[in-house]
């Protein structure tokens, strides 16, 4: 038993009673137990380990607290007396086991049965760093501890128990992080060898490889595109019928539970936002104009009769989510962390009416370029049959229904080899409005023009930023109605948006006529200049004189 630890696991394994070395005070139906090798050179013998204490008690009953058992007469008198187990025998033994484990822990760590038999937790970073970038969660006092369980992709290699080392995980590790409110632990590390990491109540040790960049996940950042990559945490906050958002918290990223009668599922009562976080050359993280996203969500919420989180709550949720997924922020120049706040009517309702309950969600995902060709000029197909929005509708807010309606036209355009769809106004069918997910600009005789906001066009935050940057660079900027004929005669065309940033347009097809911009399908000089100036502020390369960025760490 000196070379073995026993860990309670949820999946089915061989019961411990079938192994050599004796039994454990629970039946097969109570717990399934798994034998794992002990890394004795990594274990602090003085550190409290509740499961080990319970094993000591099972091997040496004298070490366990004494307990007088009540007896009842047997069938044939006192010869066959048996203990009273208060009902189900396995359940009673399980309760006694849990109580014995609880008594073996320090009083300050007795937080209920859920923490008595923990999974193996491995902290991602030393406590000092966690305390630096994890601010307290509102209503929960001190920040929780971020811990990680490492699981290998391939089968672990065998190792001798006598050597004191268990199976060494492969260099490609998968991480699953969870929050624990136990006390912070310390991590010892060396720069030239694998790092031994363990949590205070861990029953399984593992070897984590020190890549030299503890803030980055093990990922091929050079192959990063614009697709969903699940990260570790997301943020949830609910709203009662009084319209007040409270009890925001970080939870592991994953599915959420919704009633089939939820307003967002039946009537599309939902909003979304999009913003980015970039890593600077010094490793710190910048948010770009998150305050504007919070204000735009409040505007959209008023239009859809939804309560919205305050600007402060919005910013706090974004900060916590980014910092909890800090190692998923790509390296400098390799991409960014896309942040997706959502506000949905999660309450159940049958008739058409505002939902009785709302949920605010924030999740993040590392992304690269939105279009598959990167910064190469894109091709647009002008849509005449379908329209994105109508006057008096919801085209000027970021509601989820605005994007579902463009999927059909977008798919048809991509089947014909185009990158996206250009929409015209629904009344005259000749004035340019916007692309599926971004605003559009044109350049003619060194004058930059963009369609006027008339209630059917989304007031993009990138659009407004590009207008201000253009004016600072000395360009004349006009916001006015633009016909499709004017756009086809422009010197240069480009799109702007959170996802696309500043994307040059190489060609536009209208009624079978294809018009190309630039020489050899290269980006125009103005769009290149604006892209460089805009991304330099986003990434912290130049001084932010506009006050747009917010540094986190």
By annotation, the residues acting in catalysis are: 398
Q: Which pairs with CB-CB distance under 8 Å and at least 24 residues apart come from 466-470? A: 466/441, 466/496, 466/502, 466/530, 466/534, 468/546, 469/530, 469/533, 469/534, 469/537, 470/530
What 3-state class would DSSP assign to 413?
A: helix
Query: Which residues, in sequence order, are bridge partners of residue 501?
Result: 497
Q: Quick one: CA dihedral 291, 295, 301, 307, positive or negative? A: positive
Check residue 231 and report its DSSP letter: -
Structure tokens at 107: 């009083």
Round the CA-based radius of gyration of the chain to a whole number and report it: 30
Residues linked to residue 438 through DSSP beta bridges, in sequence order: 435
For residue 143, give the DSSP letter: P
**Which residue do the tokens 């930023």 mark?**
465
Strands (E), 384-457: 420-424, 432-435, 439-444, 447-450
d(CA 327, CA 97): 39
The 10 Å CB-count burial string (b at 16+, else e) for 426-441 is: beeeebbbbbbbbbbb
The whole-angstrom separation of Cα 134 and Cα 329 is 16
Which residues in 160-198 are b (16+ Cβ under 10 Å) and which e? eeeeebbbbbeeebebebbbbebebbebeeeeeeebbbb
Rounded to a whole number of angstroms, the distance between the first and last alpha carbons of the chain is 46
One DSSP character per residue, 99-137 reads HHHHHHS-GGG---GGGTS----EESS-HHHHHHH-PPP
Widest CA span in the chain: 109
Six-digit token string for 100: 């014995």
Q: Would you put residue 252 in left (φ > 0), alpha (ψ -120 to 50) or beta?
A: beta
DSSP-assigned letters across all residues of 302-339: HHTT-----HHHHHHHHHHHHHHTGGGSPPTTS-EEEE
Strands 447-450, 439-444: pairing is: antiparallel
């Amino acid at each position: 038993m000196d070379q073995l630890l026993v860990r309670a696991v949820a999946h089915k394994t061989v019961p411990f009673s079938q192994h050599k070395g004796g039994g454990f005070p629970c039946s097969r139906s109570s717990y399934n137990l798994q034998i794992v090798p002990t890394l004795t050179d990594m274990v602090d013998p003085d550190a409290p380990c509740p499961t080990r204490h319970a094993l000591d008690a099972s091997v040496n009953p004298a070490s366990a607290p004494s307990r007088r058992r009540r007896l009842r007469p047997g069938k044939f008198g006192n010869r066959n007396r048996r203990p009273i187990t208060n009902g189900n025998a396995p359940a009673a033994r399980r309760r006694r086991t849990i109580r014995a484990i609880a008594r073996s822990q320090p009083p300050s760590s007795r937080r209920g049965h859920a923490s008595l038999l923990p999974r193996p937790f491995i902290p991602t970073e030393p406590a000092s760093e966690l305390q630096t970038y994890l601010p307290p969660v509102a209503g929960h006092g001190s920040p929780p501890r971020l811990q990680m369980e490492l699981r290998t992709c391939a089968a672990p290699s065998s190792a001798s128990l006598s050597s004191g080392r268990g199976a060494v995980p492969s260099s490609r590790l998968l991480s699953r992080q969870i929050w624990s409110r136990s006390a912070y632990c310390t991590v010892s590390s060396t720069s030239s060898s694998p790092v031994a990491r363990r949590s205070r109540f861990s029953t399984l040790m593992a070897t984590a490889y020190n890549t030299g960049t503890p803030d980055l996940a093990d990922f091929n950042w050079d192959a990063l595109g614009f697709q969903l990559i699940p990260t570790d945490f997301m943020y949830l906050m609910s709203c009662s019928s009084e319209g007040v958002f409270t009890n925001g918290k970080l939870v592991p990223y994953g599915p959420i539970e919704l009633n089939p009668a939820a307003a967002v599922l039946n009537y599309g009562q939902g909003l979304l936002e999009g913003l980015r976080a970039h890593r600077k050359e010094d490793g710190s993280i910048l948010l770009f104009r998150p305050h504007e996203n919070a204000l735009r969500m409040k505007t959209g919420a008023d239009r859809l009769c939804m309560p919205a989180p305050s600007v402060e709550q919005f910013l706090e949720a974004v900060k916590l989510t980014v910092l909890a997924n800090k190692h998923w922020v790509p390296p400098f120049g390799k991409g960014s962390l896309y942040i997706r706040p959502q506000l949905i009517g999660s309450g159940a309702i049958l008739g058409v009416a505002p939902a009785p309950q709302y949920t605010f969600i924030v999740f993040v995902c590392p992304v690269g370029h939105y279009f598959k060709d990167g910064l190469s000029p894109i091709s647009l197909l002008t849509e005449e049959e379908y329209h994105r929005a109508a006057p008096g509708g919801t085209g000027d807010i970021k509601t989820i229904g605005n994007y579902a309606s463009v999927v059909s036209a977008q798919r048809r355009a991509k089947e014909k080899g185009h990158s996206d769809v250009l929409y015209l106004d629904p009344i005259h069918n000749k004035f340019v409005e916007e692309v599926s997910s971004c605003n559009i600009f044109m350049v003619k005789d060194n004058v930059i023009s963009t369609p006027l906001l008339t209630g059917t066009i989304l007031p993009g935050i990138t659009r407004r930023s590009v207008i201000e940057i253009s004016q600072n660079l000395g360009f004349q900027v006009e916001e006015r109605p633009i016909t499709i004929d004017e756009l086809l005669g422009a010197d240069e065309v480009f799109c702007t948006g959170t996802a696309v940033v500043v994307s040059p347009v190489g060609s536009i097809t209208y009624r079978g006529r294809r018009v190309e911009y630039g020489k050899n399908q290269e980006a125009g000089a103005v769009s290149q200049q604006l892209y460089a100036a805009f991304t330099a502020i986003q990434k912290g390369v130049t001084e932010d004189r506009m006050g747009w960025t917010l540094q986190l760490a």
